[in-house]
Amino acid sequence: MSDNYLPYGKQTITQADLDAVAEALQAPLLTTGPMVGAFEQAFASRVGAGEAVACSNGTAALHLASMALGLGPDDVVLAPSQSFMASANGPHYTGARIVFMDCDPDTGLVTRQTFLEALERAGGKASAAVIVHLNGEVADMAAIAAEARPSGIRLIEDACHAVGTRFAHAGGMAEVGSCQYSDMACFSLHPVKTITMGEGGMVTTNNREWADDMRIKRSHGISREPSGFINRDMAFDSDGSVNPWYHEMQAPGFNYRATDFSCALGLSQLGQLDHFIERRKALKARYDQLFDGFHPSLSVVRTRQDCDPCRHLYPVLIDFAAIGKSRRVVMAQLHELGVGTQVHYIPVHLQPYYRQLEPDLDLPGAVRYYERALSLPLYPLMQDSDADRVVDALRKVLG
């Protein structure tokens, strides 16, 4: 294996990040302190949303969003199969029944047609749908929203791959997270994502009531707002003053809080987002150029005309049968040449838990995408010459 190994993804941590975290660690509050609110405000401002709610990870973000919509056992939620399993698990944690959507086999994205097909399998009725922006490419939210809104279907964007991605809207460009066509957008700030909190998540929305609900639910369901207290005899002193220790749990919540030092890291990273976007775009452009006419058994995931993506992943689609090598062999040979790869994703409807719930479900687009997908190295610390080396290694392996 090469000494200069290129993993498929890697965090970019600068001295400014280290300084921000060190300062937060010396502050009086390590959690539920001022950095949480500061990061939320900065994130909301960046994406153009009214509210942003920080939490412990992207899965927690999807769960919080689902709870804010009031989803439960009587609800049906449409979820993508070609995604990480949290896209389905988040709403399923509420007890909602999941009906999986297929995707375009060449992009992995849910389409208007696959949305409608899933809705038909759900009996023509659903309470919500989770639409994933796979790899950082945007699904056609305008077309999907045009079908969902007249039926009262709430839309949650799984934007865990899409920090920094923009799309055409109202004659200009809007940023994913502004919720132009959705009710909420959920982000992951895991180390391999475009910006990181170490582990972290964020939900954006333009609905203050939902944001307040998520802030309560992320901390055990505890409310400290005196105007909403139910047990008023316990909450207030005889002179009407609020008892400073008092709090209420009016509905159960979870420990999905984000720490101040993780939010300090996130805030510092957010300040470098434009640089990270620039490098990811440059690397994508380099790959696109090198793969133009590269090999008859390899294709790339194309970008929709109305999308300006910041790619989290750079997958190629390989016909492994045509080259006479299994994906495992290709990955092993690339590894020996110093190139790390990964597969995103095994269709969620094929995971044993969900398959036993619907054993005969056939989603050919998700399966076809999965059978060919291989994610190549993509992260800001890479140089253009690193992309060249990845492509040279692929050339040797594919023959």
In a domain, 3, yes or no: no
∠ CA 225-36-214, nearest 5°, is: 50
* Domain encompassing residue 380: 273-398
Residues 236 and 90 in one domain: yes
Please name which of 187, 363, 334, 170 lies closest in space to residue 266, comparing C-alpha atoms.
187
* Number of Cβ within a 10 Å radius of residue 344: 20
Residues 53 and 200 in one domain: yes
Residues 116 and 251 in one domain: yes
Q: What is the CATH number of the domain that holds 336?
A: 3.90.1150.10
Q: What is the pLDDT of residue 79?
A: 99
Residues 250 and 256: their CA atoms lie apart, in Å, by 17
Residues 296 and 259 in one domain: no
In a domain, 8, yes or no: no
Edge-first strand order for the sheet with 298-300 is: 298-300, 314-318, 373-376
In the residue annotation, 193 being an active-site residue is answered as yes
pLDDT in tens, 103-138: 999 999 999 999 999 999 999 999 999 999 999 999
Yes or no: say if 193 and 160 are a contact pair by the CB < 8 Å rule.
yes
Residues 192 and 380: their CA atoms lie apart, in Å, by 10
Residues 50 and 203: their CA atoms lie apart, in Å, by 11
Residues 288 and 397: their CA atoms lie apart, in Å, by 19
Residues 263 and 353 in one domain: no
What is the β-pairing status of strands 314-318 and 373-376? Answer: antiparallel
Q: What is the CATH number of the domain that holds 125?
A: 3.40.640.10
Residues 186 and 218: their CA atoms lie apart, in Å, by 14
Please name which of 197, 196, 160, 194 lies closest in space to residue 276, comparing C-alpha atoms.
194
Q: What is the pLDDT of residue 170?
A: 87
Tally of domains in the chain: 2
At residue 78, φ and ψ (nearest 5 deg) are -85, 130
What is the β-pairing status of strands 128-132 and 76-80? Answer: parallel
In a domain, 22, yes or no: yes
Yes or no: say if 101 and 73 are a contact pair by the CB < 8 Å rule.
no
Residues 398 and 295: their CA atoms lie apart, in Å, by 8
In a domain, 87, yes or no: yes
Token pair for residue 31?
A: 């959690």
Q: What is the pLDDT of residue 229?
A: 96
In a domain, 1, yes or no: no
Q: Tokens 């005969």 sit at which residue?
A: 360
Residues 254 and 128 in one domain: yes
| Distances, alpha carbon 145 to alpha carbons 71, 237, 338, in Å | 19, 50, 43
Yes or no: say if 59 and 201 are a contact pair by the CB < 8 Å rule.
yes
In a domain, 279, yes or no: yes
**Is the pTM higher than 0.95?**
yes
Residues 59 and 187 in one domain: yes
Q: What is the pLDDT of residue 1?
A: 59
Q: What is the pLDDT of residue 36?
A: 98
Catalytic residue among 10, 125, 193, 281: 193
Length of the chain in terms of residues written = 399
Last residue of a domain, one of 242, 270, 298: 270
Residues 180 and 101: their CA atoms lie apart, in Å, by 22
Residues 72 and 170 in one domain: yes
Token pair for residue 343?
A: 């597969």
In a domain, 67, yes or no: yes
Residues 111 and 190 in one domain: yes
Token pair for residue 65?
A: 């969003």
Mean pLDDT by 10 residues, the chain (399 residues): 87 98 97 96 99 99 99 99 99 99 99 99 98 99 98 99 96 97 99 98 99 98 95 96 96 97 99 99 98 97 95 99 98 99 99 98 99 99 98 97
Q: What is the DSSP string of 276-336?
A: HHHHHHHHHHHHHHHHTT--TTEEEPPPPTTEE---S-EEEEE-HHHHT--HHHHHHHHHH
CB neighbour class for 321 (10 Å; exposed up to 12, middle 13-18, buried from 19): exposed
Distance of CA 183 to the CA centre of its chain: 15
Residues 307 and 373 in one domain: yes
Last residue of a domain, one of 231, 249, 270: 270
Residues 292 and 295: their CA atoms lie apart, in Å, by 8
Please name which of 9, 38, 84, 3 lies closest in space to residue 271, comparing C-alpha atoms.
38
Residues 293 and 386 in one domain: yes
Residues 115 and 266: their CA atoms lie apart, in Å, by 33
Last residue of a domain, one of 270, 299, 316: 270
Q: What is the pLDDT of residue 2?
A: 60
Residues 59 and 150 in one domain: yes
At 347, the amino acid letter reads: P
In a domain, 10, yes or no: no
Residues 6+ positions from 26 with CB-CB distance below 8 Å? none
* Helix (H/G/I), strand (E/B), else coil: 97: strand
